[in-house]
Structure 1
Amino acid sequence: MIKVIVSDNDSPWKEILDHYFRHFMDFFFPIVHEAIDWSKGHEFIDKELQKIAPDAEIGRRTVDKLVKVWLKDGTEVWTAVHIEIQGKSDPRFAERMYVYHYRLFDKYHRNIISLAVLADARKTWRPNRFEYDCCGCRLQFHFLMVKLLDYADRMHVLATSNNPFAVVVMTHLKGLETAKDIYGRYAAKLRLIKDLYERGLGREDI
């Protein structure tokens, strides 16, 4: 499962994930990307996600997607992508990661990879597990997590990357800086378009 928490603004994540899922995995989760056999392609199976999560939707506030891939050893793996646009920390975020994970496994008996991308502006909010312990009965569920704020000190590296998500992250971080500056945010979006063109993306991609 991949969960993406982004700031409260119109987000391009859904469209970018649709077109550049492989680039997404390579940029944020290179170890998982390396384990996937991309020669077999990948398949979006959103309808299956709807069956186990009726609250999953595509809209301004949330985007949920489910993607089928195969590992190099032939294992079929499902990755669930959840993009949530919110301004406050969600105390049940890790719990929902776990619930989506076990529901998918319980219904389809597939290997599920749970990943989280946190795009909020709170440096200390870093959920990466769900656990409880009651009278010796213990549950621990861990998921991989990256925080976009951590890329702030790597802007020079992002500036030279050919991965479209490098531009997306740079623009997102600039957007956090200009959250209350309409003109600054507009200028950042123009720079995003310019950078994407310079990196070889065509008009239909942008």
Structure 2
Amino acid sequence: MEQDGPWKEALEDLFEDFVAFFFPQVHRDIDFTKGYEFLDSELQQIITGSATGKRIVDKLVKVYLVDGSEKWLLIHIEIQGYEQTEFPERMFVYNYRIFDKFQQEVVSLALLTDENPKFRPDQYHRLRWGFELLCRYPLVKVIDYRERWVELETSSQPFAMVVMAFLKTLDTAGNVKERYT
């Protein structure tokens, strides 16, 4: 089932609402009155020819903070129904490659739409001989919103409806009649 497309479209069309809904702590610091810029072509230059397997980064967005500084956000939506051990490494590698190319602070965010409640890879960590590397990023699991259904139903936030539709799709997989009742 194609799940990636609707999320990408919603993120592009409703970026401010996306950040407000899933990452409110990030939203508070962004000055949306100054606008934002999707840097998709720049991102494609960075990820082309990667040696670590299939890599899908959906969005790189340049934003301005309320303190007047410029920041770049890597919005990574991973669409998968299974655990993928390379996910944390991919998050780190993209973050570093973007920083290396643009010399800008990069904040990586992850939204996972898989159905495994135990799969919560929120950091990349390496340690050997006293050398330690840690890349921790905010992670949101869409399935966690199942427990907040009443809140979603009463919300005026557009992503509340997106999440409800997505969860209904997951819950009715293989039963189309139930999906529309």
Residue of 55, 69, 90 corresponding to 1:75? 69
Structure 1 residues 54-73: aligned runs within 5 Å: 54=48, 64-73=58-67
Tell me how far apart the structure 2 counterparts of residues 182 and 62 of structure 1 sit (CA, whole Å): 29
Tell me how far apart the structure 2 counterparts of residues 128 and 9 of structure 1 sit (CA, whole Å): 25
Partner of residue 9, structure 1: 2
Partner of residue 181, structure 1: 175
Cα displacement (A) at 1:17: 1.0
Residue of 134, 143, 147 corresponding to 2:137? 143
Alpha carbon RMSD of aligned pairs, Å?
A: 1.8
Confirm or deny that 1:134 pairs with 2:134. Answer: no
Higher relative contact order at CA 8 Å, sep ≥6: structure 1 or structure 2? 1
Cα displacement (A) at 1:62: 5.1
Any gaps of 5 or more consecutive residues in structure 2?
none
Identity across matched positions, percent:
47
Sort the Cα spacing of 1:27 and 1:71 in 2 relative to 1 into closer, same or farther, 3 A: same
Any gaps of 5 or more consecutive residues in structure 1?
1-7, 189-206
Report the number of matched residues. 176
Q: What are the Cα deviations for residues 64-94 of structure 1, in whole angstroms up to 9, with x where unaligned?
A: 2211100111111111233343332110101
Sort the Cα spacing of 1:156 and 1:116 in 2 relative to 1 into closer, same or farther, 3 A: same
Structure 1 residues 11-50: aligned runs within 5 Å: 11=4, 12-50=6-44
Confirm or deny that 1:169 pairs with 2:163. Answer: yes
Cα displacement (A) at 1:63: 6.1
Report the AA paired with residue 35 of structure 2: G
Confirm or deny that 1:121 pairs with 2:108. Answer: no
Tell me how far apart the structure 1 counterparts of residues 163 and 3 of structure 2 sit (CA, whole Å): 15
**TM-score calculated relative to the size of structure 1:** 0.80
Contact kept? 2:78, 2:112, Cα under 8 Å? no
Report the AA paired with residue 51 of structure 1: Q
Tell me how far apart the structure 2 counterparts of residues 63 and 171 of structure 1 sit (CA, whole Å): 23
Contact kept? 2:62, 2:70, Cα under 8 Å? yes
